[in-house]
Amino acid sequence: MTFRLDIDDERRLGPGKIALLEAIQTSGSIAAAGRQFGMAYRRAWLLTDELNRMFVDPLVLTRGGGRNGGGAILTPLGEEIVATYREAERKIRQATTVEVRRFERALVKRSDGSRIL
């Protein structure tokens, strides 16, 4: 199960963007974070820019490249958004355990014997 917050028709926050933010925090780089997901730098940068414009303050700060190299870090708000998302995700999973199990029991089995979900 995944949790995605549809803020409005144009703004969404879900597992992919959160994972990108976590990868930026871990790697210190938008490019390296994008590579972890097989994503071109431009795509990773555009998603990061979208996230920065979505909130009242940026979630990611960047430092230009060059001789000393570039980099990126999460801002305190960025860290808070990731933590809040993960906490909401945990609570949703906990609150819907019974219902998810009902869905799992009703699913058709795959050819390998596992069920989809």
Q: CATH number for the domain including 18?
A: 1.10.10.10
Residue 113 lies in a domain: no
| 75 neighbors 83 (Cβ within 8 angstroms) | no
* pLDDT for residue 11: 94
Structural domain of residue 21, as residue ranges?
5-106
pLDDT tens track for 59-104 = 999 987 766 677 999 999 999 999 999 999 999 999 999 998 898 8
pTM of this structure: 0.84
Q: How many CB atoms lie within 10 A of CB 91?
A: 11
As for how many domains the chain has, the answer is 1
> How many residues are listed for the chain in this entry?
117
Indicate the DSSP class of residue 115.
B
Residue 112 lies in a domain: no
* pLDDT for residue 67: 62
Residue type, 44: A
Residue 22 lies in a domain: yes
* pLDDT for residue 89: 95
Residue 62 region by backbone torsions, left for phi larger than 0, else alpha for psi between -120 and 50, else beta: beta
pLDDT tens track for 46-63 = 999 999 999 999 999 998
Cα distance between residue 107 and residue 98, in whole Å: 15
